[in-house]
Amino acid sequence: MIEDLEKTTRNAIIWNALDKVSNQVISIVIGIILARILNSSDYGLIGMLAIFVAIANSCIDSGFSSALVRKQNPTEADYNTVFYCNLLISFIIYIFLFLGAPNIASFFDQPILIPLSRSLFCIFLINALGLIQTAHLVKEIQFRKVTIINFLSLFISGLTALYYALHNYGAWALVAQMLSQSVSKTILLWIIGKWHPKAVFSIKSFRELFAFGSNILLANILNSIFLNIYSAFIGRLYGKTSLGFYTQASKWADMGISTLYGTIQNATYTVFSAIQNEKERLVKAYRDTMKLTAFITFPSLLCFILISKPFVLIFLSEKWTESIIYLQLLCAAGIFTVFTTINGNYIKISGHSHLVLRLEVIKIGLIFITIFLTWHMGMLHMVISLVIVRIIVYILSIIIIGEKVDYPWYTQLKDIFPYLSIGIILFLTSLSFTIFISNIYFLGIIQIGFFFTAYYSIFRYMNRHYSLFN
């Protein structure tokens, strides 16, 4: 049984890793080309809409997907009920935002946001058609199919964005990218996923799933605000050009961060849900996951902080120089985001979804306090405050886990400390290269080469002398 669980977990993580890596390769290539063609204001316009997109997507999902994956034996009525609920909610949200588009444009003083937002917000209707197909595949641990679907949809959307960018459509290229990705992914989910809705709706299923999902819904909405509120304030206070630099930095930081925790999170949430009633096995499995997460996260993000400047100058061009400092700060914040996200998942699996909601409420409160204290100091200080908030939230998450789910905060810190040490060693060693190498381009090559060589060597050593799953 244990061997089967470990095999399932490993296979799930491998396919999730392949999914994330392949998608990120495409995203990196397309992102670099688009960054060279488009300008900061184009990204700034889309960044102004980020908070609305994030909140709406959270509302459409309604926490039902997490509830479905967590439920031991979901019925056909469960899947169909959630499908129709999501579809109805997406329609209501789209109408609301369609009518509110002039107000959004007025808030940011950007009239072009009216047609941009009304077009972009169509993704809500499209995504709602594929949410349950995705949940069904995840529940069945069919990550190979998920990988194929994500890869093809991202490839199609990348080509679409390049076409529009090369034909001087500006911000519309980014809208076309998101729309084409939603359309292609939804079509592929219906073809490959094999699950199709039936004319079934159960009030009982709705009440049962929403009882758990309601807390997740509110938590997801608050988390969406937490992650995107800075874009709204920066766009309002400092304009679309400044927001464009922040958005570009956020895109690259999020790309790395989501790859790190998404690879492990998506796989383990499903597997751990299957053993949620076996507390000892769940705690042990989760500790192993945290060790693996720490081993990957610390060296990856610390080294990305080091190479941020060469990366931007070499690949994105000098017109994005202003985004370097924001990229470094967001990567630093991302270290704590990774662990906080996975901690939140563990809390949900353990049946304490109300604690996730409580943590999100605290996060939002901290955000508004720090924004109030720093907005007049400038954009840089506001982003620095974001890092501080992420640190505080992580500390709170491990305290909650220690009190409620038998994983004391000092034990988690003990579990991740060896990997933090590895990250610090790699960071300091790479930093020392700046003393001897002045050429920024050559420095970047050396640091990247050292990072991957050291990372591979350490991985082999750790795999040989210390099993992350035992």
What's the pLDDT at 203? 84
> pLDDT per residue over 228-239, tens digit each?
888 888 988 898
Residue 220 token pair: 């997801």
Provide CB contacts within 8 A for 244, sequence distance 6+.
Answer: 39, 40, 41, 42, 43, 44, 47
What's the pLDDT at 1? 43
For 372-377, the CB contacts below 8 A with 24+ separation are 375/233, 375/237
Residues 170, 34: Cα–Cα separation, whole Å: 10
Q: What angle do CA 402, 406, 408 make, to 5 degrees?
A: 35
> pLDDT per residue over 335-391, tens digit each?
888 888 888 777 777 667 677 778 878 888 888 898 888 888 889 999 999 899 989
Residue 279 token pair: 């507390």
Whether 178 and 47 have beta carbons less than 8 Å apart is answered as no
Q: Where do we find the tokens 């909650």?
A: 400
Q: Which residues of the chain have pLDDT under 50?
A: 1-3, 468-469
Whether 388 and 254 have beta carbons less than 8 Å apart is answered as no
Residues 167, 115: Cα–Cα separation, whole Å: 19
Residues 153, 255: Cα–Cα separation, whole Å: 17
Residue 375 token pair: 């907005």
Q: Where do we find the tokens 């769940």?
A: 282
> pLDDT per residue over 452-462, tens digit each?
788 778 777 76
DSSP track, 14-50: HHHHHHHHHHHHHHHHHHHHHHHHS-HHHHHHHHHTH
DSSP track, 379-444: HHHHHHHHHHHHHHHHHHHHHHHHHHSS--HHHHHHHHHHHHHHHHHHHHHHHHHHHH---HHHHH
